[in-house]
Structure 1
Amino acid sequence: MTPQSVSAIANVKKICEEHLQGRYELEVVDLYQKPQLAAGEQIIAAPTLIKKLPLPLRRLIGDMSNTERVLVGLDLQKKA
């Protein structure tokens, strides 16, 4: 895993715990170990966060350090 991926995972976990208090499921996939999943999930860049439920499906790309942007992307906050 790249340093950016490690940072993104930590940022997402922190955001989820602060705003969802355990009401989430997070699956971390290393695309170096499972490259076939990149095509199946239509991942074009890494790290990528995919929110599957509730619909609509959303994809966020980057280190997830911008909390407000992640919250908007996850439909947890309205765009300012």
Structure 2
Amino acid sequence: MAKASKKYELRLYIAGNTPRSVAALNNLKRYCEEHLKGIYEIEVIDLLVNPTLAEGDQILAIPTLVKKVPEPVRKIIGDLSDEEKVLVGLDIRPAR
């Protein structure tokens, strides 16, 4: 389980309300509630609204999740349906 002292700052880049974008956000919220309850913050950036924001994090594909804090910065591309891959990418050890 994640340590309570850690705060996770996550940024999800999407492009509109596509099925993949919606799935990515729903999956991310579910994992966060399950494994990071109370210690996470999700910022959703819609590149159809703010296309210039993709440059800062070098976003090449949509949807992309960027873990800003805690370091190291990590990126996960796709609809986040593979829970194990997402947890490994976020460096979260599931509670057993």
Query: 5+ residue gaps in structure 2?
Result: 1-15
Q: Judging by fraction of residues, say which structure has more helix.
A: 1
- 1:30 has 2:50 as partner: no
- Stretches of structure 1 that go unaligned for 5 or more consecutive residues are none
Specify the alignment match of 2:86 in structure 1: 70
Aligned partner of 1:56 in structure 2 is 72
- In 2, the alpha carbon distance for the partners of 1:10 and 1:58 equals 19
| Backbone CA RMSD of aligned residues | 1.2
2:65 match: secondary structure = strand
Identity of aligned residues (%): 58
Higher relative contact order (CA 8 A, sep 6+): 2
Q: TM-score, normalised on structure 2?
A: 0.78
Helix, strand or coil at the partner of 1:29: strand
4+ long deviations beyond 4 Å? none
The count of residues paired between Structure 1 and Structure 2 equals: 78
State the alpha-carbon separation in 2 of the partners of residues 26 and 39 from structure 1: 19
Q: TM-score, normalised by structure 1?
A: 0.93
* Higher strand proportion: 2
